A = this chain, B = another copy of it.
């Protein structure tokens, strides 16, 4: 059994590779909810949807988000009504948002809705929000504090990143099934997907029960670097680290996760300018770019084998 901590696209693709290699019920994907927000009265959960759509093979590969075969009549109509159009909502995607919001407002926990949507879409892996409690990422910038999607989508990460906080994290309880999976005697390894360490993974670890469970882990924990040659494979991770005065690359990831990881997977071409082995994580160098389904499975397989070869540090 494997638990993977995942953000959006990178997390979804890595989880999809793992899903192809593990049996039904052997994979638990604990997903970031810090990006979740309310827009036009609808609860949007970008990372949960990206993971779900990807595992259901419904993900839109051109866009990198949303559903395949998406249409945009709603956005056209909302523009004509003078409504807000800075956040794109596809017509198919709206079914997810509307039904989820309706069920949340009726009192169902997010995790139950996510599980039902996954089952409706034929997914046999377990997808869990890291918490059912409200946890919202806020980004302090040179223009003041912005809600995550204001920073990420409306302002396209253009404001200079100063710091980040996770509103609600201090009181958020980890989802009990995530904790149970992390404590399961059948657990082989905990994997940290190549997601943005600050925007996608830090909000997961900001839930005290999660980072505590990682600290107390009985199995190896392995992180996959999201960087190749100082650039993030996707998204603003490199820009953000530079704005914090940190050079994006494997050393930043090793430093960021510190004692929470026993192994680190980095790209072949990247420098090993940080302690490895005793004082740092064990290292696997490989091609971390996931090219298509084959690339996802190759990387997932290599990371699985690496994690299984490690002992809890």
Residues of A within 8 A of B (CB): 40-42, 67, 69-71, 73-78, 80-83, 90-96, 98-99, 101-102, 105, 116-117, 120-121
Contacts and interface: CB of A to CB of B under 8 A. Distances in A.
A78 B91 CA distance: 10
B91 A74 contact: yes
25 contacts: A40-B98, A41-B101, A41-B105, A67-B77, A71-B71, A71-B73, A71-B91, A73-B73, A73-B91, A73-B92, A74-B91, A74-B94, A74-B95, A77-B93, A77-B96, A78-B99, A80-B95, A81-B95, A81-B99, A82-B120, A83-B95, A91-B91, A91-B94, A94-B94, A98-B98
Contact of A81 (B41, B77, B78, B96): B96
A121 B80 contact: yes
A78 B105 contact: no
A58 to B, nearest CB: 9
Contacts of A94: 74, 77, 91, 94, 98
Nearest to A69: B73
Nearest to A42: B98
Contact of A40 (B81, B92, B93, B99): B99
Say how many copies of this protein the assembly contains: 2
Contacts of A102: 40-41
A67 B76 CA distance: 12
A98 B43 CA distance: 12
Contacts of A116: 82
Contacts of A41: 41, 98, 101-102, 105
A205 to B, nearest CB: 31
Contacts of A77: 67, 91-96
Contacts of A71: 71, 73, 91
A225 to B, nearest CB: 35
